[in-house]
Amino acid sequence: MSDPVRPQSTLDLVATAGRLREEVQASPPLTHCLTNAVVTGFTANVLLALGAAPAMVDIVGEAEAFAGAASGLLINLGTPTPEQREASRQAVTGAVAAGTPWVLDPVAIGVLPVRTALALDLAERRPTAIRGNASEILALAGRSSGGRGVDATDDTEAAAEAARDLALRHGAVVAVSGPVDLVTDGLRVMRIANGHELLTKVTGGGCALGAAMAAYLGAARTTGVEPLMAVAAATLVYTVAAEQAAAVSSGPGSFAVALLDALAAVTADDLADRADVREEAW
Amino acid sequence: MSDPVRPQSTLDLVATAGRLREEVQASPPLTHCLTNAVVTGFTANVLLALGAAPAMVDIVGEAEAFAGAASGLLINLGTPTPEQREASRQAVTGAVAAGTPWVLDPVAIGVLPVRTALALDLAERRPTAIRGNASEILALAGRSSGGRGVDATDDTEAAAEAARDLALRHGAVVAVSGPVDLVTDGLRVMRIANGHELLTKVTGGGCALGAAMAAYLGAARTTGVEPLMAVAAATLVYTVAAEQAAAVSSGPGSFAVALLDALAAVTADDLADRADVREEAW
Amino acid sequence: MSDPVRPQSTLDLVATAGRLREEVQASPPLTHCLTNAVVTGFTANVLLALGAAPAMVDIVGEAEAFAGAASGLLINLGTPTPEQREASRQAVTGAVAAGTPWVLDPVAIGVLPVRTALALDLAERRPTAIRGNASEILALAGRSSGGRGVDATDDTEAAAEAARDLALRHGAVVAVSGPVDLVTDGLRVMRIANGHELLTKVTGGGCALGAAMAAYLGAARTTGVEPLMAVAAATLVYTVAAEQAAAVSSGPGSFAVALLDALAAVTADDLADRADVREEAW
C-alpha cells in the first residue's frame, strides 16, 4: 500500500529503520569499536543511547577473537597509534573470518600518510560499509588528496561518483556524510536530507554515526535486512534524532547532550514524520 | 541512639558516608587513576564533582612514585595498552610500598585474555578493594568465563559467594555492581539498593564509581574509617546522586550531566532520606 | 578616543578579542592539538564552539607535516605516552620550520619526571606561548618542584616573576591561570580577572584554554595581531564565556555544557560589558 505523497523507497526505509531500531533495543548488538581517542566516550554513549552494547577493545591479542564474537565492528582511523593499527588488522581478520559486518571510517586520510596507507590496505579486506565525508571518500577512491584534517573541503555530490566506484570495487556500502547524506551500494543510491548543522560542531558527530552503522548492520544480519538499508536506516535514525535535539538546544554543548537523549527516545512515528529521503538507480 | 524504623547498620553507613563526604571536600584526596580511554574524562569529572583531586598519570617512569604520594589509586583495565599495563604494575608497586589504598577494576576480564592475565596478577598484590559487575567478579574468582565485553551477563547475587571468596583470599573489600550493589570484606556484607538504571546507559557509570571508591578510601585512611565502610560510603553517595539525577533527566545524555551536578550537591540529609541499605553477617 | 572610566589597555584588548573572534569564525584556523587523553574530546568541542577547526593528530610520521600546514599548534603534556612524546617533537619541528605559532602546556611538571624533561626540552624550541598554572610555571622556570598533579599549590602572583623570566628567556608569551589570569611577554603584563571557580571543577578547564590560545594565535598571525594580545584575547573570550555559563548552571556538569554553548554565543558586546582587565609595564 503506497502513501499518496511519499515514494515507496522512503516508506521502505522508514519501515526498515523502525524495525532495526526495535531489534537493536530488544537484542542489543555487541558493537566492537576501535575508534579514535577524541570520540571514544561519546561514541560509546551514542551506542548505549541507541540500545546497543558498545565494547571498545583495541588491544593487540584481544581484538581478533572479540571481533569474531561481536555483532558488528567499527574501525575508525582518527588517532591510529601503532597498537591500534595492529589491533585493527587483527580485528578485521576476526570479523572477516566470522562474517561479522564491519565499517571502515577512514578519518582524515589523504593528507596524513600513516592512516592513508592503513585505510587503503583495510579497504581491500571487504568492509561491509565505508563511511566518510566527501574529502575522505574522494581520497580513498584515489581522486584527491583529501581535506584538511577532519573537515570535508569537498561537497557530497562531488564524491558521488567516487562513492559508486568504491562500492563496486570493494562490494561495500559507501556512505558520504554532508548536509545531504548519500548511501550507495553502487547500484542504488539513497539521499537522506535529514540532520542538522550542529552535528558538525560536536566532535564525533560523524564518527559516532559509523558506530551506529556497525550496530545496525549487526541487527540487520540477524533479521535479514540488506546492508544498504541498514546503513541508510542508521543514518536516518541518527539524523532525525539530531533534528529533534537541535530543536531543544541552545548551542553545541546542549546539542550533544540532547542528541543522546533523542537517540534513546526517537520513535518510529518520528522517523515517519521527518524522513526526507530520495532513492534512485545510478 | 537507634532510629525506631531503620537498622543500626544503615545509620552507621549514612553517618560514615556523610563524614567521608565532608572530609573529601575539606581535604581533597589526590586520586591517582590509571583508567581506560573511554571514560577518563568522565571519571575525572566525577572525582572533581565529589571534591577530590584527580590525576590520570599512566606513564611508565611516573606512575610508581606518584602512586606512593597519592591518597588513593584506581587501576581500571578497560583499555590496557602495553604502556598502561607496565605503568599499572609500577603504580601498584608504589601504592603497596607506601600503603596507599588501591582499587582494582577488572573490566571485561574472562573473555579477553590480555587483561585477564594482568588482573589475576594484580589481584595477588593485595588490592584494598576490587570492584566489578557480577560477571567480572565471577571471572576473577575463577568461576566463569566472564560476560560479553563490559556487560554483566550474571546477576549480583550469583556473584555473592565469589565475592566472599575473593575478599577472604585477597584480604580485600569486594564490591559487585548491579541493581543492588553488594559490598563485602568476607565477613560482613552490605547490600545497597540505591541507584538507577540510567547508570547503565552512560559509559563509565561503573568505572567512575571505582574512582570514587579510591578517593573515599584515601579520605578513610586519614580519618580511621575501615575500608568496608569507605567503599560502601562511596557507593551510597554515588547511587543516591544517581537517583537525584534521574529525577531531573530526560534521557542518558542529560542524566550524565545531572549526575555530575548531583555528586557536587548531594547532602548528608539526602543520604539519610534515601539510603536503602541492608547489612548481614555471612 | 578613550572611555571615561576604562583604561585604554582594556579597550584595546576588548577590541582585539572581538576582532580575533570574528576572524576565527570567518576563517576557521586549523588547530593542531597533541593533548592528553583526559581532555581530548572536551578540547575539540571547545575549539568547535569557538569556530575553529580542531585536528588531534598525535601520530609519529604524521605530526610534523601536519603542524607545518596548521594555523596553530598545541602541545599539552598531560598524558605523554612514548608515541605522543615523539610526535610532539615532530610537531614542534614542523611548526618551527613553517612559522606556525605554537603553545606549550607543561601539565603537572615538577613532580613527574618524564614530562618535566620533555617540557624543559621543548621550551628551548621557541614556543610562541607557554600556558600553565602557577606551580607549573614556577617549575618550568626552575623555581619550585611543581604542584601535586594538575593542581596549582602556588598562587598566580607568586609565579609573576617566574613568568617574566620565562618570557624573556624564551621569547614567549607566558600565561598563568588562576583566579586572576596573568599574561606577559616579559615587558608588559596583563591581568584578566574574569572567569569562574567552576572552571576548576571541570577536567580540561585549563587545558582547553591552551587550545583556544593556539587557535587565536593562528588567527592573529593572518591579521597582524601580536601574540601577547592574541593570548590575552583567547583568555578574555574564554573566561567571559565561563561567567555566562556559570550564571545558568546548577553544578559542574551543567557548567561544562553551558560553557560550550557560551563559547559559541559570546558577543563583542558581552566582552565589552564584562571585561575586567588591567595592564602594566613591569
What is the SS3 assignment for chain C? CCCCCCCHHHHHHHHHHHHHHHHHHHCCCEEEEECCCCCHHHHHHHHHHHCCEEECCCCCCCHHHHHHHCCEEEEECCCCCHHHHHHHHHHHHHHHHHCCCEEEECCCCCCCHHHHHHHHHHHCCCCCEEEEEHHHHHHHCCCCCCCECCECCCCHHHHHHHHHHHHHHHCCEEEEECCCEEEECCCEEEEECCCCHHHHHCCCCCHHHHHHHHHHHHHHHHHCCCHHHHHHHHHHHHHHHHHHHHHCCCCHHHHHHHHHHHHHHCCHHHHHHHCCEEEEEC
Helix (H, G, I), strand (E, B) or coil at B39: coil
C-alpha cell at A250: 541552545
Phi, then psi, of C71 in degrees rounded to 5: -80, -30
Run of H or E residues at A281: strand A277-281
- pLDDT tens figures, B14-70: 999 999 999 999 999 999 999 999 999 999 999 999 999 999 999 999 999 999 999
Of B231 and B281, more confident: B231
What's the pLDDT score for residue A153?
Answer: 62
Largest CA distance in chain C: 55
Interface residues of chain B, partner chain C, Cβ below 8 Å: 28, 30, 32, 37, 40-41, 44-45, 48-49, 53-62, 65-66, 69, 81, 83, 256-262, 264-265
Cα B120 → chain centroid: 18
- pLDDT tens figures, A25-65: 999 999 999 999 999 999 999 999 999 999 999 999 999 99
* Chain C CB contacts of B218 below 8 Å: none
Chain C residue with minimal CA distance to B55? C149
Minimum-distance CB partner of C264 among A38, A149, A252: A252
- Residue of B56, B249, B250, B254 best to disrupt the A interface, most CBs of A under 10 A: B250
- pLDDT tens figures, C7-64: 777 889 999 999 999 999 999 999 999 999 999 999 999 999 999 999 999 999 999 9
* Chain C CB contacts of A204 below 8 Å: 41
Mean of the per-residue pLDDT values of chain C? 94
| Beta bridge mates, A53 | A30
Q: Considering the entire predicted model, what is its pTM?
A: 0.96
What's the pLDDT score for residue B149?
Answer: 54
What's the pLDDT score for residue C282?
Answer: 79
Answer whether B112 sits within 8 Å of A259, measured CB to CB.
no
What's the pLDDT score for residue B280?
Answer: 85
- Binding residue per annotation — B27? no
Answer whether C62 sits within 8 Å of A149, measured CB to CB.
no
| Beta bridge mates, B132 | B176
- Binding residue per annotation — B126? no
Residues whose CB falls within 8 Å of the CB of residue C188, separated by 6 or more in sequence, listed in order: C228, C279, C280, C281, C282
Distance (Å) from the C-alpha of residue A200 to the closest C-alpha of chain C? 8
The half-sphere exposure of A70 on its side-chain side, counting CA atoms within 13 A, is 38
- The conformation of residue A277, written as its DSSP 8-state character, comes to E
C-alpha cell at C28: 576557521
* Chain C CB contacts of A40 below 8 Å: 41
* Chain A CB contacts of C30 below 8 Å: 148-149, 151
- Binding residue per annotation — C1? no
* Chain C CB contacts of A150 below 8 Å: 53-55
What's the pLDDT score for residue C259?
Answer: 98
Answer whether C254 sits within 8 Å of B256, measured CB to CB.
no
Minimum-distance CB partner of C203 among B44, B257, B258: B44
Res. B1 pLDDT band, cuts 50 70 90: very low
Q: What angle do CA A61, A63, A64 make, to 5 degrees?
A: 85
Answer whether A83 sits within 8 Å of B81, measured CB to CB.
yes
Helix (H, G, I), strand (E, B) or coil at A279: strand
Answer whether B251 sits within 8 Å of A261, measured CB to CB.
yes
Interface residues of chain A, partner chain B, Cβ below 8 Å: 28, 30, 32, 37, 40-41, 44-45, 48-49, 53-62, 65-66, 69, 81, 83, 256-262, 264-265
Chains within contact range of chain A (3+ C-beta pairs < 8 Å): B, C
* Chain C CB contacts of B48 below 8 Å: 200-203, 252
- pLDDT tens figures, B78-129: 999 999 999 999 999 999 999 999 999 999 999 999 999 999 999 999 999 9
Q: Is the ipTM of this complex over 0.85?
A: yes
| Beta bridge mates, C183 | C175, C190
What's the pLDDT score for residue A146?
Answer: 54
Chain A residue with minimal CA distance to C65? A112
What's the pLDDT score for residue A68?
Answer: 98
Interface residues of chain C, partner chain A, Cβ below 8 Å: 28, 30, 32, 37, 40-41, 44-45, 48-49, 53-62, 65-66, 69, 81, 83, 256-262, 264-265
Res. A240 pLDDT band, cuts 50 70 90: very high
Answer whether A203 sits within 8 Å of C264, measured CB to CB.
no
Residue C146 has pLDDT above 80, yes or no: no
Helix (H, G, I), strand (E, B) or coil at B98: helix
Answer whether A41 sits within 8 Å of B41, measured CB to CB.
yes
Q: Rounded to 10 degrees, what is the CA torsion of A185, A189, A193, A195? A: 0
Minimum-distance CB partner of A48 among B37, B40, B252: B252
* Chain B CB contacts of A270 below 8 Å: none
Minimum-distance CB partner of C149 among B53, B256, B259: B53
Minimum-distance CB partner of C55 among A82, A149, A250: A149
Distance (Å) from the C-alpha of residue C229 to the closest C-alpha of chain B? 31
Helix axes A252-265, A40-50, angle to 10 degrees: 30
Minimum-distance CB partner of C82 among B40, B45, B83: B83
Residue A5 has pLDDT above 90, yes or no: no
Interface residues of chain B, partner chain A, Cβ below 8 Å: 36-42, 78-82, 108, 111-115, 148-151, 200-204, 249-254, 256-257
Chain A residue with minimal CA distance to B43? A41
B to C CB pairs, distance under 8 Å: 101
- Binding residue per annotation — B1? no
Q: What is d(CA B132, CA B138) in angstroms, rounded to the nearest whole number?
A: 9
Chain A residue with minimal CA distance to B36? A56
CB C202 within 8 A of CB C55: no
Answer whether B41 sits within 8 Å of C204, measured CB to CB.
yes
Q: What is the rounded average pLDDT of the residues B229-255? A: 98
Answer whether B83 sits within 8 Å of C81, measured CB to CB.
yes
Answer whether B108 sits within 8 Å of A37, measured CB to CB.
no
Q: What is d(CA A44, CA C228) in angstroms, rounded to the nearest whole number?
A: 40
Res. B11 pLDDT band, cuts 50 70 90: confident
Answer whether B81 sits within 8 Å of A62, measured CB to CB.
no
